[in-house]
């Protein structure tokens, strides 16, 4: 399967996906064929370049509306014959049209155990709530904010002395294991989303 990764920042999850999809032993059935960023300075773009993966930058200022922007991204994905799109620190709200078009082929990773702490600053939300555990969630994307069907989660403990930074680091390590595992479930056909947005498992 041809995979594109959409990024806005550091891209450590992109790196984890690049590394695992290139390890023959991982049997990922996935090739990262394209990286798209909405920020021209995103460090993720350097990671793509180093890995020899083509990348594109889309600037929202070049488009009249969110729909126009997303349509341009969609066209690029189609031009590259992309099967599956992974959001990895992509800091843009997607239009309903985009989400619908990529239904069942659009994944996101979020730094909390959803449905707890959707949206921004999930790690701070977790610490403020006094939670004893946190983690990450890989899910299919639907029209809501971090509400789509959950593919898998990985838990990490929250320690008493944790700051947003230390908790973020611990969650990141879990993310770098979880995202490749979840992508593999999708690319190998183990898990699929039906048209009602329900997760279906296949053996």
- In this complex, which beta carbon is closest to ligand GRF, that of residue 9 or of residue 197? 9
Rounded to a whole number of angstroms, the minimum distance from the CB of residue 90 to ligand GRF is 7
Among 81, 58, 73, 55, residue whose Cα is nearest residue 1: 81
Q: Is the peptide bond before 115 cis (omega within 30 degrees of 0)?
A: yes
**Contact map string, positions 136 to 175, toward ligand GRF, x by CB under 6 A:** x-----------------------------------x--x
**Stretch (H or E) spanning 177:** helix 164-187
33 binds ligand GRF (CB under 6 A): no
Q: Is 110 in the site for ligand GRF (CB under 6 A)?
A: yes
CA nearest to 122, candidates 83, 153, 77, 100: 153
Residue 13 beta carbon to ligand GRF: minimum distance, rounded to whole angstroms:
3
Which of 109/186 has CB closer to ligand GRF? 109
Please tell me the count of residues contacting ligand GRF according to CB under 6 A.
13
- For position 9 contacting ligand GRF by CB under 6 A, the verdict is yes
Q: How far apart are CA 183 and CA 14, in angstroms?
A: 12
Confirm or reject binding of residue 89 to ligand GRF (CB under 6 A): yes
Q: Using the rule CB under 6 A, is 135 a contact of ligand GRF?
A: no
Among 94, 109, 114, 193, binds ligand GRF (CB under 6 A): 109
**Distance (Å, rounded) from C-alpha 40 to C-alpha 72?**
16
- Count of other CB atoms within 10 angstroms of residue 139: 23
CA within 13 Å, CB half, 79: 11
Q: Of the listed 110, 117, 139, 176, which one is catalytic? A: 110
110 is catalytic: yes
- CA-nearest of 111, 109, 89 to 158 is 111
Say if residues 3 and 83 touch (Cβ distance below 8 Å): yes
Binding site for ligand GRF (CB under 6 A): 9-13, 88-89, 109-111, 136, 172, 175
- Give the catalytic positions in this structure: 110
């Amino acid at each position: 399967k041809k995979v594109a990764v959409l990024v806005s920042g550091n891209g450590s999850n992109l790196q984890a996906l690049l590394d695992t999809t290139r390890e023959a032993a991982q049997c990922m059935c996935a090739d990262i064929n394209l990286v798209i960023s909405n920020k021209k300075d995103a460090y993720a773009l350097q990671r793509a370049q180093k890995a020899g993966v083509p990348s594109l930058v889309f600037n929202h200022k070049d488009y009249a509306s969110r729909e126009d922007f997303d349509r341009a991204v969609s066209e690029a994905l189609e031009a590259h014959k992309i099967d599956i799109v992974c959001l990895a620190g992509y800091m843009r709200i997607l239009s309903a049209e985009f989400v619908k078009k990529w239904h069942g082929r659009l994944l996101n990773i979020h730094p909390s155990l959803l449905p707890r702490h959707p949206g921004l600053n999930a790690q701070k939300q977790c610490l403020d709530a006094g939670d004893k555990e946190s983690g990450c969630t890989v899910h299919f994307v639907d029209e809501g904010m971090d509400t789509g069907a959950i593919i898998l989660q990985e838990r990490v403990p929250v320690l008493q002395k944790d700051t947003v930074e230390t908790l973020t680091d611990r969650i990141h390590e879990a993310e770098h294991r979880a995202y490749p595992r979840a992508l593999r479930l999708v690319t190998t056909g183990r898990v699929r989303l039906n048209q009602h947005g329900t997760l279906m498992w296949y053996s």
